A and B are shown apart, each in its own frame.
Chain A
Amino acid sequence: MLKTEPCIERPDDFYEALLAAHQGLTTEQSHDLNARLVLILANQVGSYDVLQAALAAARGNLDRTMEGASQ
């Protein structure tokens, strides 16, 4: 089951840390960092069903956002 209710402890601190991790990186390096982060988090999640749901949620959200932007 994909959790969508708020679960991140200290969300503001997390977000700041996320941006800090990208500090000083080129866009290419940021892509690389994000990819590594996705893989590390995916391993933490483990469950294939949850990962599938997360991928669908991310892609669905992106598609809906793009749809909204084009209207």
Chain B
Amino acid sequence: MSQTATPDIDYQKLEFEYRRSADQSAASPAHHPVVVVGAGPVGLTLAIDLAQRGQPVLLLDDDHKLSTGSRAICFAKRTLEIWDRIGVGQRMVDKGVSWNVGRVFFRDQEVYSFDLLPEPGHERPAFINLQQYYAEGFLVERAAELPKLEIRWKNKVTALTQDGERVTLAIDTPDGPYTITASYVAACDGSRSPLRGMLGQESKGRIFRDRFLIADLKLPGPLFPNDATERWYWFDPPFHRGQSVLLHKQADNVWRIDFQLGWDADPDEERKPERILPRVQALLRQGFKREVPFTLEWASIYTFACLRMDRFRHGRVIFAGDSAHGVSPFGARGANSGVQDAENLAWKLDAVLRGQAPDVLLDSYASEREYAADENILNSTRATDFITPKSEASRIFRDAVLGLAREYEFARRIVNSGRLSVPATLDGSTLNTADSDGFTALTRPGAVAADAPMTRDGRKVWLLRELGEGFTLLVFGPAPTWAADLGVQVLEVAAQGLQDSEGLAAQRYDARPGTSYLVRPDHHVAARWRAPTAAAVRAAIAHALAKA
């Protein structure tokens, strides 16, 4: 695990060296069990997870730099927990910024503010803000620690064919082309996904006729008194009439401003600094009643669409992240859902490649993550419809909600500038074993296992950190003797060793003595019982591996 402090590396300028590989001189195409295409947050997370499981992984990227600009900056609790599992969570949290005060403005008035107080008893906050180049940089550094993981920069896939046995990839490099084969290919190559095009597939959905300007400002000093970190959201402010504006903070005292511009804005004009600076100055004057010095660090104009591929799996080629699905940025569901795709896919690919599960297990990756994508698209579309009303009636209701929100708490619950990204509960997944005993809905099969503060031999630990790399049978109370023969990690919450020091685990898992949870390698609950038999647990494990 990387515990090194971040040295003074300029991750925006970092370049990785292209190196010729032995595959390029091979007489016949070299074979790789799994090739990941695209070294963004999703591809890196997947490759690291696979390599950490002992799988040899080849990661190809057509570029040799990290993310240009800050781009995705909100990383949610679940993403941090996944990154904890692959050894980079703490670095992200240390470098990232947490905010807890949010303010919503409508026209010239503050409508309400809220305290995003996290529910106590979780290791990770609801989310952090961190520039994407840091996230990618930390992941690349973690990747470098894993001998089974090879990254080849400036390796651009130019053609893809597959049969029932393997995928053949033609790759272009500064030294010219070469060919490799792979048992499986994970296409994490972004929203424009060249691999998707090579398969003749497309991502379909709703395109929103709106444009947004992102401006990253570097400030020499604090913006708020006491260097507080607040998130401000304006609907229809006097300095930017008829549109919305968002201000929030990233690492290194860089502030992100998101200006809605409308569909008629000319993107080439709007990205010019002479157009951006007055917009920023007007906001700062209105918001802070003073001249705030700043330098413009990065700016970008974007449009977005809510869309997805019909199927995320095409034979031996599997799509994850933006290549498979796209959402609006509201609610931070792009990179976060992609990282969850990666973790869903990693253990399944590993199990299939080891012959521990049939190939059909990978179909469950597609069905589970298509389900999650639909949920993310729904949430993201709803936020977009609130932020950019599409009809006179929707504008009237939107403004009425904002008008009421200042006085009435109930209306605040309808205000939607993006709902917090939370992981999908995979209800109806083919891998779930349905409840046969009475339980509360929380942590039902398909849900992500909840974190809880625990102690181990008196030392403070977190429940999620105690779960195994593979399946875990979490038992409240002493485990039955047969549990040792299951071939999975058995985690006892008992009077000795691991203790539920605050009683929160029992509460979150609706646990009584004997209650047992089967938790998948990606921390989703597969099954739960009040007092399981060995046969029931074995059947649930087989079921979660698509073997029965």
Contacts and interface: CB of A to CB of B under 8 A. Distances in A.
A61 interface: no
A31 B396 contact: yes
Interface string A34-45: 011011100100
Given A39-B411, A39-B414, A43-B410, A32 B399 contact: yes
Contacts of B400: 32, 35-36, 38-39
12 contacts: A31-B396, A32-B400, A32-B403, A35-B397, A35-B399, A36-B403, A36-B404, A38-B397, A39-B400, A39-B411, A39-B414, A43-B411
Given A36-B404, A39-B404, 6 more contacts: A32-B399, A35-B397, A35-B399, A36-B400, A39-B411, A40-B404
A63 to B, nearest CB: 16
Contacts of B408: 40, 43
Interface of B: 396-397, 399-401, 403-404, 408, 410-411, 414
Nearest to B397: A35
Given A39-B411, A39-B414, A32 B404 contact: no
B545 to A, nearest CB: 38
Interface string A4-39: 000000000000000000000000000110011011
Nearest to A33: B400
B391 to A, nearest CB: 12
Contacts of A31: 396
Nearest to A28: B396
Please indicate which of the listed interface residues A35, A38, A40, A43 has the most CB atoms of chain B within 10 Å of its own CB: A35
A36 B400 CA distance: 5
Contacts of B404: 36, 39-40
Nearest to A35: B400
Contacts of B411: 39, 43
Contacts of A39: 397, 400-401, 404, 411, 414
Contacts of B403: 32, 36
A35 B396 contact: yes
Nearest to B411: A39
B398 to A, nearest CB: 9
A61 to B, nearest CB: 17
B155 to A, nearest CB: 52
Q: Which 4 A-B pairs have the closest CB atoms?
A: A35-B400, A43-B410, A36-B400, A35-B396
A36 B414 CA distance: 13
A43 B413 CA distance: 11
Nearest to B403: A36
A35 B408 CA distance: 14
Contacts of B401: 39
A62 to B, nearest CB: 13
A31 B408 CA distance: 19
